[in-house]
Chains A and B, each alone.
Chain A
Amino acid sequence: DAKTTQPTSMDCAEGRAANLPCNHSTISGNEYVYWYRQIHSQGPQYIIHGLKNNETNEMASLIITEDRKSSTLILPHATLRDTAVYYCIVRVGEYGNKLVFGAGTILRVKS
């Protein structure tokens, strides 16, 4: 699976959009981009995933560049409860394939 690079930490003001970048320059054509987050002391939680088209669900939007070498997770209106570690993961999108978690980005939402 391709390696991902994320900033160590980011701050965001409550109510503003949080934009979390991820670089995956070695991504292959059949690899998907997944985002999970982990709120303190809880298990990771799935957010969204995509292959090449932008995706949106009730939690977030995922923007993938045309060359697929990077992506951005967008939380449109961050709240204090969005403070968490956000993991960007790239893997072949076959069910049951393991997720390889990196260090992630610590997002701090501040009032």
Chain B
Amino acid sequence: DAGVIQSPRHEVTEMGQEVTLRCKPISGHDYLFWYRQTMMRGLELLIYFNNNVPIDDSGMPEDRFSAKMPNASFSTLKIQPSEPRDSAVYFCASTILGGIDEQFFGPGTRLTVL
């Protein structure tokens, strides 16, 4: 299994631009999580899905952030418009009901907003 796949691995953009981060969870997993990591705030959960349905989006910082999961094998996190304070590493993770409740994390996307 290839594990959780995230793209792009690095993204540099200018303030005001739209940014889309992508995630492919491990096949068969029914939970998907989006996290953000910064030096100041550490690792924070933004939103998570179960069977493609958003369950808890209380960590989404503001309306500029949105996440979708159109099918079981793909999710996006969009920031529009982006701001310098959005610069962070964004991780996607997935897990499966019935396993040992281990979340498998992707390699992350390092976002820099200039």
Q: How far is the CA of A98 from the CA of B55 in the complex (A)?
A: 10
Contact across chains for A103 and B45 when beta carbons are under 8 A apart: no
Indicate the member of B43, B97, B98, B100 with the most A CB atoms within 10 Å.
B43
Cβ of B6 to closest chain A Cβ, rounded Å: 9
Given contacts A49-B101, A93-B101, contact A99 B107 (CB under 8 A): no
A-B contact count (CB 8 A): 50
Interface size on B, residues (CB 8 A): 26
Cβ of B86 to closest chain A Cβ, rounded Å: 19
26 contacts between A and B (CB under 8 A): A36-B103, A41-B108, A42-B105, A42-B108, A43-B4, A43-B105, A43-B107, A43-B108, A44-B43, A44-B91, A44-B105, A46-B104, A49-B101, A95-B97, A95-B101, A96-B48, A96-B55, A96-B95, A96-B97, A98-B33, A98-B48, A98-B56, A98-B59, A99-B45, A99-B103, A101-B43
